[in-house]
Structure 1
Amino acid sequence: MKRIGSFLGALAVSLTATSAFAIDIDSRYQPYQPTTGVSGSLKSIGSDSLNNLMTLWAEGFKAIYPSVKIEIEGKGSSTAPPALIAGTAQIGPMSRPMKAAEIDAFEQKYGYKPTQVRLAVDTLAVFVNKDNPLSCISLTQLDGVFSKSRLSGSPNIVTWGQLGLTGEWASKPISLFGRNSASGTYGYFKEVAMVNGDYKDTVKEQPGSSAVVQGIAADKFAMGYSGIGYKTADVKAVPVAGRDGKCQEANQRNAYTGAYPITRFLYAYVNKNPSTALDPLRGEFLRFVLMQDGQKDTVKDGYYPMPYVFAQEELAKLGLN
């Protein structure tokens, strides 16, 4: 899987005025303009990481089109492809790209591939309790903490002292929280931080990102991972060092330049026949998401807006600009 830096590195020069902490929206984004003929029902099935964001987008869209009904179910990215194939969902949000087998199954039924739409940018954060003094962790150390395979060559890391903490922390075991295997977040963390190794049996797998964060907030000695949009005041995101050894904070600048090593796009997939236009309901919903209104909701939920040029590429792909 290509990481986001290979797509976004060229944008670094455009971020010289961007704060490392504020989340900015490109001034070229224009407000969404309502149109006529938009009605009906949409069902979204897929990523839990996108659950809150899909809800915000749906609420904003329904404020413009009150007769539209939108139902959202977020139980994990792996639930999106079968729902799109079966026709039980019209939008499949995913926190990872579809796998080759999922694309093949879709194409076998419809004769063309599903259409991937990039909607937002996320730094997959490594969270600890707000009282934890840990100031940085490397990908290799994360492999040692979370993986029983340790394919990076890391030693087995089980206590906070092995990460350099002293005093009361030194001998305390690291309590691990993570997502379940239906989650795209589970798979992406496994790929990038664990070199596709296997998770330790001690990882407490949670059905949703908010449950991961709640577990860490309630356990002083816990560590876990989820999308940055689920950060609360009770946890902190630890800077992560990539293979170059440089600690990088999970922020917009580092996401866009690819400096933060666990950065990704958040997607939606739709069933779009290449020879026909999208119906008005799906088309206008995706247009709303990829314009100023939807990207403001992205920021409100704690994720990073799509770089403007990429949003225009997605709209063009859908025949919407």
Structure 2
Amino acid sequence: MGLCLAVACAPTLKASPGGNLSSVGSDTMHQVMQLWGDEFKRHFPQVNFQLQSSGSSTAPVALIEGTAALGHMSRAMRQSELQQFEQRFGYPPTAIPVAIDLLAVYVHPDNPLTHISLAQLDAVFSINRRCGGTGDIQQWGQLGLTGRWQQRYINLFSRNSVSGTYGFFKQHVLCNGDIKPRTNQLAGSSAMLRAISQSVTGIGYSGIGYATSGVKVLALAANGEDAVAPTLDNALSGRYPLARQLYIYVNLEPGKRLAANEQAFLTLVLSAKGQQLVQADGFLPLPVELIQHWQQQLGLASELALP
């Protein structure tokens, strides 16, 4: 009898996985992809799983060039990326949601600030203030802090432009405005949070899964709304304004089925075990209805029956 990754057993794969399986893409998703990869290799040791996570912008290139079968991205593909893919293959890539992330705003633990609005964030980070900021914000006193904090300048930290997290922040917080030139741009989420933990006047953003004791998470307010914390309840209720889906993109020709390696990996990701690993890494699992939709769409079993 096979070992199943959910409550009831399901049919086995139509073909056995083997050879190589590579994924290229998001730094934000590196840890959860590693967890999925380790679980996958535990059951399919004959597959050489390779993972590269330099930023979401590297995923479309890898899929187009055929250097990766999976492209993990913390944002949806841009129109230009979709067009390049379609020009190459004649059909669009398939974007499979695999988890939910909350983009959180971080400051140093000694910072007395507890919350911030989207408009204030726009004024802090952008030179254009397209999202409603009324004036440039450069000092903590402009956010309501007093005493020795009032005249302190805000030290800005951001992901670099290849990052899907940067793209999401630029679109949803800056309304595609330009980030201030003095912003410190870092290649990885861990590096950003480490920098904020070492900068008492620092502020930055990253997925909630990267929160550590060395930083403080701010409650966030949509314009005109009360500030809410980045929690599961606030995400599912729609109250937290910076919730996003995380994706794995594949090159799936219409009318065809996934290759055995991809089929097995995505079955694991969308299984009960796969979604438990999502939570273990600090992300939020997908709603059951969405999982079932994609299992049906891709012809996947509800769980993976393993030999």
Same fold (TM > 0.5): yes
CA contact 1:90–1:271 (8 Å) conserved in 2: yes
SS across alignment from 1:137: strand
Using the alignment, how far apart are the partners of 1:71 and 1:221 within structure 2? 38
Structure 1, 160-169 or 114-123: larger mean CA deviation: 160-169
1:121 matched residue in structure 2: 100
Do residues 195 (structure 1) and 175 (structure 2) align?
A: yes
1:41 matched residue in structure 2: 20
Identity of aligned residues (%): 45
1:98 matched residue in structure 2: 77
Do residues 68 (structure 1) and 47 (structure 2) align?
A: yes
Change over 3 Å in CA distance of 1:32–1:216 after alignment to 2:
farther
CA contact 2:120–2:133 (8 Å) conserved in 1: no
Change over 3 Å in CA distance of 1:127–1:317 after alignment to 2:
same
CA contact 2:116–2:227 (8 Å) conserved in 1: yes
SS across alignment from 2:128: coil
Note the aligned Cα RMSD (angstroms).
1.5
Find the partner of 1:184 among 129, 150, 164: 164
Using the alignment, how far apart are the partners of 2:9 and 2:187 within structure 1? 34
- State the Cα distance separating 1:33 from its structure 2 match: 6.6
**Aligned letter for 2:124?**
V
- State the Cα distance separating 1:154 from its structure 2 match: 2.5
- State the Cα distance separating 1:188 from its structure 2 match: 0.9
Using the alignment, how far apart are the partners of 1:218 and 1:172 within structure 2? 16
CA contact 1:31–1:292 (8 Å) conserved in 2: no
SS across alignment from 1:212: helix
Using the alignment, how far apart are the partners of 2:227 and 2:165 within structure 1? 21
Query: After the TM superposition, which residues 233-248 of structure 1 pair with which residues of structure 2 at under 5 Å, given as runs?
Result: 233-248=213-228
Using the alignment, how far apart are the partners of 2:10 and 2:183 within structure 1? 46
Q: Mark the runs of 5 or more structure 1 residues left unpaired by the alignment.
A: 1-28
2:232 matched residue in structure 1: 252
Q: Mark the runs of 5 or more structure 2 residues left unpaired by the alignment.
A: 1-5, 302-307
Using the alignment, how far apart are the partners of 1:42 and 1:68 within structure 2? 7
Using the alignment, how far apart are the partners of 1:192 and 1:49 within structure 2? 17
Do residues 214 (structure 1) and 203 (structure 2) align?
A: no
- State the Cα distance separating 1:245 from its structure 2 match: 2.5
TM-score (norm 2): 0.92
2:304 matched residue in structure 1: none
Using the alignment, how far apart are the partners of 1:293 and 1:223 within structure 2? 35
2:305 matched residue in structure 1: none
Change over 3 Å in CA distance of 1:47–1:297 after alignment to 2:
same
Encode CA deviations 1:137-156: one digit per residue, 9 max, x unaligned.
00000001000111224311
TM-score (norm 1): 0.88
Encode CA deviations 1:98-155: one digit per residue, 9 max, x unaligned.
1112111111111211000000001100011122221110000000100011122431
CA contact 1:30–1:291 (8 Å) conserved in 2: no
Which aligned segments of 4 or more residues in structure 1 are displaced greater than 2 angstroms? 29-36
Using the alignment, how far apart are the partners of 1:77 and 1:280 within structure 2? 24
Using the alignment, how far apart are the partners of 1:144 and 1:170 within structure 2? 17
